[in-house]
Structure 1
């Protein structure tokens, strides 16, 4: 049985999540406690030592991110729940953490539970939450560090070390400025959504870092990067690419 603590200031949201867990995952979860605030949540976690915490982000007195200040070590997994706040969601995804949008859909909940159960031990909650808090405190999101899921767990890469990303079926290749390559177990679309500016999709197969563009060959629609590689720019993306280059410089 998976021991759970639910932290949400909305009593209705607490009850709905509890009922959904019991209905679609019978005999899998024990709801140790339901808490309306960060302070009561901290007490419940220290008392019951749960395996999994469902944590609301927006709460009146303290937001969900403040909960982690009360723990020297994070020995539980977290699934954030939120109704909005795009910046927070992007930071969560950059940190290889999970979240659910309210109202919570049982199919999305099932996927989150599946990821929780299949989690790699090397992908410790402590590291991912530390990265999340680091990214939330970075004023310049262009230098944020991103946790890319890999077959072994996840790998932390500064966004300003990435030259480009290339689609590889359901995976994504990441080419770094030092010439090394990494493989993320996510699609290019997923990676594109967590990359900050000045990354741009220039083709169905490529997302590039505009900071490393040297020149654009308009005749053959190719962009040349600082390492000498030339990548195609699709007809549909050409105008957006040219405008982005002009704005970026």
Structure 2
């Protein structure tokens, strides 16, 4: 199983150090780097990382990087990501834990301490995303696509991509079929598992079917390049996260 992480720090050298250490843990992939308070909040809500590596600052101003990132998230989501605080201050570490952080690592950051923290995370990992369209009791392997009184149960692994069509969503399957559901693309975006990623206002793709990404042409190729779909600048972070996940170290 793979897990995503987001780095929050305004020091240009720190993210490179973290990325280097994570190379020893291939089941973890970086979805992005945030450099300010508002940037951090927006990327957490957009990218929904499993883990957040945060080096807090003592300054509690609105634009500072501090544990206020954690407390402010409670305005928007009930279940926080797994925050790992990295600091040379035991007081800041203690304050962050009180604010809701899951763990902390005291400086200097090294692979041994990071490994311990990641093992704690994996041991307690209980996050799941259900994908039932009818209610919240679906499974994470099959999706129910409802069209009027017709209920079709489709394995998630058979879905290549989803396309928005006004207030409906078309599901394109590996066997060539197209199914239409009377729900918006945004409705499905919130409930699909992490191997589905939005790359355009009109498209969500199954990462497992991606065979090529052309950044120059802004095209994502699926199903052994039989299908090409445009991606937009709005979802550039998602595209970079996909590349990191499929081919770590290539961005």
TM class by shorter chain equals: 0.3 to 0.5
Give the number of the structure whose residues are more often helix, by fraction: 1
Higher RCO structure (Cα 8 Å, ≥6 apart): 2
**Structure with larger Rg:** 1
TM-score scaled by length of structure 2: 0.45
